[in-house]
Structure 1
Amino acid sequence: MNVKRILVVDNEAKMRRILELSLKHMGHHVEQAADGVEALAAIESGSFDLVLTDLRMPRMDGIALLNALRERGDDVPVIVLTAYGTIETAVAAMKLGAADYIIRPFEMDTMELAVTRVLAMQAVQRENRFLKDELSRGWGEFIGISRPMQELYRLIQQVAPARSNIFIVGETGTGKELVARALHQASGRSGLFVPINCAAIPAELLESELFGHAKGAFTGAVRERIGKCELSGGGTIFLDEITEMPLALQAKLLRVLQEGTIERLGSNAAIEVDLRVIAATNRDPAQAVDAGALRRDLYFRLNVVRIDVPLLRERAGDIPLLADQFLQKYSRELGRRAPRLGPEALRRLEGYAWPGNVRELENLIERAVVLCTGEEITAGHFPAELARPVEAVRSNDALPSGDMPASLSMKVHVEALERQLIEEALKRSGNNKAAAARALEISERALWYKLKRQDLQGG
């Protein structure tokens, strides 16, 4: 596991200790601070990957700490802990750049999920530097640092310099044309990248689009026209949705690939072309061959190298990065400051199946930017199909009601968290009290005392 350095800031020593133990069980290194002043001193002496802070503290509270961090340019992610009565303050903290907030009382798994999510987001932001380097080398609009995308990048780099034809397979909206453009940009070919959507051009016009036509070749052909194959001039022609091309035209394309020459419609003159073809389909090409939509011999000629573009649901870790890119893009177009993507809105995006892939995500973010009039995009800015039950905080008889005084509420909450930790330690140790005490970093005698006070039998 990749150990992270986490700073826990809370004026209650018992709460700090409970959070420290839970975070250590997750495998992280934890340090403590009693308030914002101590927290800043700790951050001065060493860097942290995450700060987990209470909002209400003496000397320097959570809001002041967050302000101080941002004023000094420290972008360490911060999760704030807040009680039900101070949710407005938590919202203010989010506007100042807090990564997330947790409402007290909470269960340990709620806190652990928030920590895991924020650390994952931080990894995305850091690895984005790598992505920017890739973009500067001509990766076009590629966004993604997930494992499937890294594998895709490596494959593109490997096969791009070859002259071999390539077959790209992927669902609608996955970015097949972006892959084709990246292949061309990395190939070093001197000609143009020329895309043709075979499904968008009427069959009777597609041949002229590809190969051009002579003057008078058909009614309306009042002048000679150069086709896209010739226009690419030593570059790359991208045939999107190749399975929609008429079979008769597929036979002519096969001949072009075999002989390296084209004939304009209405002319018998052979014209040599230096052509690399990248084809793409959103169907299974083997099934398209069996169904008679794709000539078998053309498929073998095109399928020298096959590239499968990952689905968005297979690279869910890229969703925050993609969403941010689209937020910036459409905010610029509207001439406004980009709103923040709220935690619940991001959870909705990460939990959706994305049948329309990246294109659907882009459309939804564009819609949200248009509808958002404030500083944060919420789950309410997304259509109903993205709605899914948000895991409610599980009830616990030991947790306080909203009518309890704040001091009593916090005391009961801390005891409830302590009880959870003890139960978990006993479970992991097979009810071995000595082992559980070592895991909790207390004496066995202290554990027996707590078991008695919490009315736990430990068995």
Structure 2
Amino acid sequence: MTTKRILVVDNEAKMRRILELSLKAMGHEVAQAADGQEALGMIDAGAFDLVLTDLRMPRLDGIGLLTALRDADNDVPVIVMTAYGTIETAVAAMKVGAADYIIRPFEMETIEMAVTRALTMQVVQRENRFLKEEVSRGWGDFIGTSAPMQALYDLLRQAAPARSSIFIVGETGTGKELVARAVHVASGRRGLFVPINCAAIPAELLESELFGHVKGAFTGAVRDRIGKCELASGGTLFLDEITEMPAPLQAKLLRVLQEGVIEKVGGNAATPVDLRVVAATNRDPQQSVDAGVLRRDLYFRLNVVRVDVPLLRDRRGDIPLLVDYFVHKYALELSRPAPTLSPEALAVLEAYPWPGNVRELENLVERAMVLCRGDTITVDHLPAELAPSRTVAVSVPPSPTSPPVDTDDLALRPHIDELERRLIVQALEKAGQNKSAAARLLEISERALWYKIKRHGLS
């Protein structure tokens, strides 16, 4: 990471000096302020990349400093430190916009990890802001800067403004509805975004849900009802799991798309509609067509622009960003400080194949947040089914320079640590000590690699 300007704010001169030395050892430029009021003057005089502030100080405390910065529309990341930690103050700090919250006494490694994380997230947030500006009201809910996600942004940027139908393909949990909503927002269409899950509604009711019905059309139809197609007129109709729609209804939908009119169930009056249709499936659409599950002519009508949503296992570099987002999300819901993620736990998450994709990751983070009572999520807070991804050391032969495995000591952790250390050394050698290239060889994020290098004493 390049040199950053960091402002340390604390009324204790000794603590300011300790933090200054530690941050300078990380390669950063450091300035000091004795309280929030002095810090505001220094920030007005020159930009900083990060502020590290104590909570309790004379004149202006940490929360006051943070509030003043946000009121002035200054988004510099702020890490709050305090020896008087409570859930209430932590939540207050996070709600005002703190990047992290650290309770004293702390190890300097905790500060270093928090600083690295905050500076990394600052870069990511700036990149995401740039992407959002490029697409007008673009992809604010997306999290990810990996190459697959950049390709997705590029495709949506081109396809969203058009009226053409879009066919979204992706495994369960990849965020197909999120993509559809982003298309609608960036399209500029003034109408509603109306989703309908074709697999969640019984076949006999789906036609009424789509096209509406008139009073008396069937038993229980006690009044006229507007359908999803009419509701979405002028906006976007999202047909999730389109391959689950019954074949006869597919034919009626095709007619609506071709003629731009609907007829309510039990009625005979044609109602014009202006629809932009986005369809989605977790199946292979071509196989569904070949199997007769999806009408070929409807598929051609919907598949004007195909969007393949990246699998989480194909964008592992985004996992730290996603985890950080979900940790802070559930920290607010649980009214507690956001814990950090141990390097070992991050390595496990990055190695797991994620059959349930981002949805599975979110559920896992929520579970870890409930189980974690301290300030760090460790491997012990992860589900047991992730354990196999940590046992690969058993089948990997030791290198000639490593000590033989003591078969009387079968504890996994020491052997996994030794294997991890050797693999990192080999990757760095192969990459010519280039950290980014080595991280790609190891299929982990560069941030995770830096943590591991420090942990194993390889720096």
Same fold (TM over 0.5): yes
Alignment of 1:22-101 (within 5 A): 37=21, 40=24, 70-71=52-53, 92-98=107-113
Superposition deviation, residue 378 in structure 1: 0.6
- Partner residue of 1:409? none
C-alpha distance in 1, partners of 2:210/2:150?
33
Identity rate, percent: 63
* 1:286-328 per-position Cα deviation (integer Å, ceiling 9, x unaligned): 0000111100000001001101101001111110001111111
Partner of 1:221: 221
CA distance in 2, matches of 1:394, 1:5: 37
**Mapping for residues 268-347 of structure 1, pairs under 5 Å:** 268-347=268-347
Deviations 1:149-171 (A, max 9, x none): 11111111101111111100011
Distance across 1 between alignment mates of 2:250 and 2:25 = 70
CA contact 2:3–2:28 (8 Å) conserved in 1:
no
Would the aligned equivalents of 1:208 and 1:265 in 2 still touch at CA under 8 Å?
A: yes
* 1:338-383 Cα shifts (integer Å, max 9, x gaps): 1111111111111110000000000000111111111111111110
What is the rounded CA distance, in whole Å, between the counterparts of 2:225 and 2:212 in structure 1? 5
Once the two structures are superposed, the pairs formed by residues 415-430 of structure 1 within 5 Å of their partners are: none
Aligned to 1:161: 161
Alpha-carbon distance in structure 2 between the residues aligned to 1:38 and 1:385: 39
Question: Contact 1:345/1:379 (CA < 8 Å) preserved in 2?
Answer: yes
Aligned runs of 1:116-135 on 2, under 5 Å? 125-134=122-131
1:46, distance to aligned residue in structure 2 (A)? 9.3
Shift of 1:335: 1.4
Letter in 2 for 1:233: S
CA distance in 2 between partners of 1:260 and 1:74 (Å): 50
Q: Compared with structure 1, are the counterparts of its residues 358 and 394 closer, same or farther at alpha carbon in structure 2 (3 Å cutoff)? A: same
Max radius of gyration: which structure?
A: 1
Q: Is the 8 A contact 1:125 1:321 kept in 2?
A: no
Shifted more, 342-351 versus 252-261: the winner is 342-351
Change (3 A) 1:320 1:45: closer
Do 2:161 and 2:188's aligned partners in 1 also have CA atoms closer than 8 Å? yes
Residue ranges of structure 2 left out of the alignment (5+ in a row): 5-18, 32-49, 55-75, 80-103, 404-421, 433-459
Point out where structure 1 has 5 or more consecutive residues left out of the alignment: 7-34, 48-67, 77-88, 101-117, 399-416, 429-459
Tell me by how many angstroms 1:37 deviates: 4.8
Q: One-letter code of the match for 1:351? A: A
SS in 2 for 1:178: helix
Are residues 378 and 172 of structure 1, via their aligned partners in 2, closer, same or farther at CA, if it must alter by over 3 Å? Answer: same
Question: Is the Cα–Cα contact under 8 Å of residues 339 and 377 in structure 2 kept in the other structure?
Answer: yes
Query: CA-to-partner distance for each residue in 1:98-150, whole Å, 9 max, x for gaps?
Result: 369xxxxxxxxxxxxxxxxx79x965651232214545734242111111111
Which residue of 2 is the match for residue 367 of structure 1?
Answer: 367
Instruction: Assess, with a 3 A threshold, how the Cα gap between structure 1 residues 233 and 394 changes in structure 2: closer, same or farther.
Output: same
Alpha-carbon distance between aligned partners in 2 of 1:208 and 1:152, rounded to the nearest angstrom? 34
Change (3 A) 1:341 1:44: closer
Equivalent position SS for 1:98: helix
Cα deviation digits, residues 226-282 of structure 1 (max 9, x gap): 000000130000000000000000000000000000000000000000001100000
Q: Who is 1:457 aligned against?
A: none
Deviation of the 1:384 alpha carbon? 1.2
What letter is aligned with 1:379? Answer: V
Instruction: Quickly say closer, same or farther: Cα 1:261–1:377, change in 2 above 3 A.
Output: same
RMSD between aligned alpha carbons?
3.7
How far, CA to CA, are the matches of 2:154 and 2:372 in structure 1?
A: 38
Contact persistence 1:192–1:231 (CA under 8 A): yes
- CA deviation profile, 1:2-33 (whole Å, cap 9, x unmatched): x9679xxxxxxxxxxxxxxxxxxxxxxxxxxx
Quote the residue 2:177 is aligned against.
177
TM-score, with length taken from structure 2: 0.63
User: Relative to structure 1, is the Cα distance of residues 321 and 125 closer, same or farther in structure 2, using a 3 angstrom cutoff?
Assistant: farther
Judging changes above 3 Å, is the alpha-carbon distance between structure 1 residues 288 and 272 closer, same or farther for their aligned structure 2 residues? same
2:3–2:29 contact (8 Å) kept in structure 1: no
TM-score by length of 1: 0.63
Equivalent AA in structure 2 for residue 93 of structure 1:
M
The residue correspondences of 1:310-459 to structure 2 (distance < 5 A) are 310-387=310-387, 388-389=389-390
SS in 2 for 1:362: helix
> What SS class does the counterpart of residue 195 from structure 1 fall into?
strand
Instruction: Look up the equivalent residue of 2:284 and give its one-letter code.
Output: D
1: CA distance, partners of 2:150 / 2:138: 15
- 1-side partners of 2:402 and 2:294: how far apart? 65
C-alpha contact (below 8 Å) 1:199/1:245 kept by paired residues: yes
Distance 1:296 1:391 in 2: 45
The one-letter amino acid of 1:96's match is I
